[in-house]
Amino acid sequence: MTGTEAIASLYRASKLTKYFPVRRGVLRRHVGDVKAVDGVDLEIGRGETVAVLGESGCGKTTLGRVLARLERPTSGVLEYDLGQGLEDVTRTSGSDEFAFRQRVQMIFQDPYTSFNPRQRVGDAIAELLSVHGMDSSEQRADRITEVCEMVNIRPEYLQRYPHEFSGGQRQRLSIARGLSVRPELIVADEIVSALDVSIQAQVVNILRTVQGETRVSILFISHDVGVAQYISRRTMVMYLGKVVEVLNSATLHERAEHPYTQALISAVPTMDETARRERIVLRGDVPSPINKPSGCPFHTRCSYVMEVCRVEEPLLRAARDADHLHQVACHLPEPPAMSPLRRQ
């Protein structure tokens, strides 16, 4: 799904926050919070792939973990389509929470740590299936064969232990394990970041094919602009726990309006002459998520900073172009022109 057509919502987060308390001293006094996710609005459609892009520490993994219900949000509302349209699932617990976990599966960067080294991979997938109620061992075996075919792993390999696979194969196996319980959403957290470029392409292509066949929605967390753009319909750019821009992935290079998104894009080496631009070097370091700047979180590093940026936080609003998927959180009256094409 790459067009701009409207699609039914599967999952919506509103004003979502996740703070980690910072405690000091013998009395473990609460002295502040790491504001890992700080007021995120997000909607994922059925069968849609949304990429989450941003530098290290901007809150991507924390957002994924909250959406997959591995962490409780500090505040905000989570709504999910359980069959009759979106309904509030923020406070589900017990058996409802357990059932929900089957709908949203998270896949991590390092599959070696998510598989038990002493358990054969086939048994690891069978265990997840039985936890989620597939009691018959024949049914489990059939399902495991089916998902292994989807990710091009030969069923006889399932007798092996995790260390007997290459990184790419292990990552394909964690995709297979996630898919085995027929989730509606996969949260894929930097799943190709640790792999060689050629293997990255293989894993991303498998995920794309699987997405086309099963219509599973994917939240693809990455710091790689090229990979995010290739796999997703929409890209959401995060900075210090906030969403600064949401755009159509197909036009990411031409339409980016936020100075931070433009800087991220300009840092990507490309073979495409028309997309090659002068690199924008960001000034200074990313501020601490404990002491965030007032106003716009990006103002301390922005070349276009205005007085209002230091005091007033910009809200996500429709971008200047006519694309209804495009939203940006920036005070600038006009988006900065993208840097000129680099002459070779």
Ligand X SMILES: Nc1ncnc2c1ncn2[C@@H]1O[C@H](COP(=O)(O)OP(=O)(O)OP(=O)(O)O)[C@@H](O)[C@H]1O
Residues that bind ligand X (CB under 6 A): 20, 34, 36, 54, 56-62, 223, 289
The DSSP secondary-structure symbol of 321 reads S
301 binds, among Mg ion, ligand X, none (CB under 5 to 8 A by kind): none
DSSP letters, 292-308, are PPSSSTTGGG-TT--HH
- Range in contact with Mg ion (rule: CB under 5 A) among 40-48, 53-61, 131-139, 256-264: 53-61
The minimum distance between CB 329 and Mg ion, in angstroms, equals 21
| Shortest distance, position 56 Cβ to ligand X, whole Å | 3
Please, which residue, 148 or 191, has the CB nearer to ligand X? 191
Minimum CB distance to ligand X smaller for 197 or for 290: 290
CB-CB contact of 226 with 249 (8 Å) = no
Minimum CB distance to ligand X smaller for 12 or for 242 = 242
- Of 55-63, 227-235, 304-312, 322-330, the window that binds Mg ion (rule: CB under 5 A) is 55-63
**Cα–Cα distance measured from residue 3 to residue 227, given in angstroms and rounded to the nearest whole number:** 18
Piece in contact with Mg ion (CB under 5 A), picked from 60-68, 168-176, 270-278, 327-335:
60-68
The nearest distance, CB 186 to Mg ion, in angstroms, is 16
Q: How far is the CB of 240 from ligand X (least distance, A)?
A: 9
Among 165, 164, 221, CA closest to 192: 221
CB nearer to ligand X: give 109 or 180.
Answer: 109
Cβ within 8 Å of residue 305, ≥6 positions away: 296, 299
Q: In whole angstroms, how far apart are CA 252 and each of 47, 151, 221, 330?
A: 20, 29, 16, 17
**Residue 187 dihedral angles phi and psi, to the nearest 5°:** -100, 110
Give 17 or 61: the residue with its C-beta nearer to ligand X: 61
Query: For residue 51, what are the β-bridge partners?
Result: 220, 235
Minimal distance, residue 131 CB to Mg ion, in Å: 25
Shortest Å distance, C-beta 117 to ligand X: 23
Residue 249, interface with Mg ion (CB under 5 A)?
no
Whole-angstrom Cα Rg for the chain: 21
Q: Which is nearer to Mg ion, 61 or 171 (CB)?
A: 61
CB of 61 to ligand X, least distance (A): 3
61 counts as binding Mg ion under rule CB under 5 A: yes
| Contact mark string toward Mg ion, 12..51, x via CB under 5 A | ----------------------------------------
Using the minimum distance from each CB to ligand X, give the nearer residue, 104 or 153.
Answer: 104
Q: Which of Mg ion, ligand X, none has residue 320 at its interface (CB below 5 to 8 Å by kind)?
A: none
Q: Measure the CA angle with vertex 160, ends 159 and 161; round to 5°.
A: 130
What torsion do the CA atoms of 125, 126, 128, 133 make, to the nearest 10 degrees? Answer: 150
- Beta carbon nearer to Mg ion, 61 or 235: 61
The minimum distance between CB 222 and ligand X, in angstroms, equals: 9
Contacts of 136 (CB under 8 A, 6+ apart): none
What single string gives the DSSP state of each residue in 18-81? Answer: EEEEEEETTTTEEEEEEEEEEEEEEEEETT-EEEEE--TTSSHHHHHHHHTTSS--SEEEEEEE
CA distance 331 to 326: 15
Interface residue list for Mg ion (CB under 5 A): 61
